[in-house]
Amino acid sequence: MPIIKEQNGGITVQLLHKLGNKLGNTKEQIILEMRTNSKISAAQLAKLLNISATAIEKNIKQLREDGFIKRIGGTRGHWEVIE
């Protein structure tokens, strides 16, 4: 909710954002890429996001455990982003 104040003959609107975000930038980028290309590999994600494949795998593991994504069909399958 914005904070609206009358000040100096006008109004100011202050928008509040929570510190941090639920997923973090890397996880949000992974989800965005998976929505764009559901068959994207960890290696492709690592290259696109310019981080190590190990870091991608850790983030994917967390996203799966937290219920944000799931894998359908194994290595030749695709990613499903859960809304």
CATH code: domain of residue 56: 1.10.10.10
**Looking at the predicted structure, is the pLDDT value of residue 30 above 90?**
yes
* Residue 9 maps to a domain: no
Unique residue bearing structure tokens 């609107």: 13
Between these two residues, 10 and 32, which has the higher pLDDT value?
32
- 63 and 69 Cβ atoms separated by less than 8 Å: yes
Number of separate domains in the chain: 1
Local structure of 12: helix, strand or coil: strand
* Residue 54 maps to a domain: yes
Distance between CA 60 and CA 31 in Å, rounded? 9
Distance between CA 22 and CA 20 in Å, rounded? 7
Residues near 48 by Cβ (< 8 Å), separated by ≥ 6? 29, 33
**Looking at the predicted structure, is the pLDDT value of residue 45 above 70?**
yes
Domain interval for residue 41? 20-81
Rounded to an integer, the average pLDDT of 24-34 is 90
What's the mean pLDDT when you consider all of the chain?
85
List pLDDT tens digits, range 7-24: 678 877 766 554 445 668
* Residue 14 maps to a domain: no
* Residue 8 maps to a domain: no
* Residue 42 maps to a domain: yes
* Residue 46 maps to a domain: yes
